[in-house]
């Protein structure tokens, strides 16, 4: 059975596309992130802070800030550490991360969160929150490289 050249060409193009897609996904890498976030609010809240991305043995300073809207009351400091995956270069960490959540910290408490930005970077962070903070809100966190 002979294949026409058009079918052969389409099949080769499909195989090449699949190979390029798989090889680019295989090159995605991961790094380590440390963030300190200060948060305060009354109905509408704000957060800000900074941290460090460690990627391929180099450190990159980060700044973070955001807005919370919903039931937000109090102030807190949260120190988070963890990994960031699905990145190709340090700038892939930069972006807007959104979340809906609820929490209560009186004195101190544990915190864990998984967030994704528009570039596909995935942050898996955990740490401790100290202060007085009650929240049931929608929040956004913007991370930028300094």
Does the pLDDT at position 16 exceed 80? Answer: no
The topology (CATH level 3) of 30-145 is Lipocalin (2.40.128)
- Quote the DSSP letter at residue 121: -
Does the pLDDT at position 23 exceed 50? Answer: no
Closest CA to 54 of 20, 87, 102: 87
**38 to 6, 50, 59, 76, 113: CA distances (angstroms):** 61, 9, 22, 6, 16
Closest CA to 93 of 53, 126, 56, 66: 53
Spatial separation of the C-alpha atoms in residues 21 and 44, rounded to whole Å: 42
Digit-coded pLDDT (tens) for 117-135: 999 999 998 888 888 776 6
Digit-coded pLDDT (tens) for 53-112: 999 999 999 999 988 777 777 888 989 999 999 999 999 999 998 765 555 556 667 777
């Amino acid at each position: 059975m002979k294949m026409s050249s058009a079918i052969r060409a389409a099949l080769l193009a499909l195989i090449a596309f699949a190979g390029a897609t798989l090889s680019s996904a295989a090159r995605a890498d991961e790094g380590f992130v440390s963030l300190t976030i200060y948060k305060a609010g009354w109905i509408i809240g704000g957060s800000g802070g900074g941290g460090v991305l460690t990627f391929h043995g180099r450190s990159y300073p980060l700044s973070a800030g955001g807005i919370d809207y919903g039931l937000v009351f109090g102030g807190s400091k949260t120190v988070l550490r963890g990994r960031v995956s699905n990145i190709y270069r340090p700038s892939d960490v930069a972006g807007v991360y959104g979340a809906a959540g609820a929490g209560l910290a009186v004195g101190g408490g544990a915190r864990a969160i998984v967030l994704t930005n528009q570039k596909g970077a995935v942050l898996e962070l955990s740490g401790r929150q100290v202060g007085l903070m009650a929240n049931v809100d929608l929040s956004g966190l913007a991370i930028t490289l300094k």
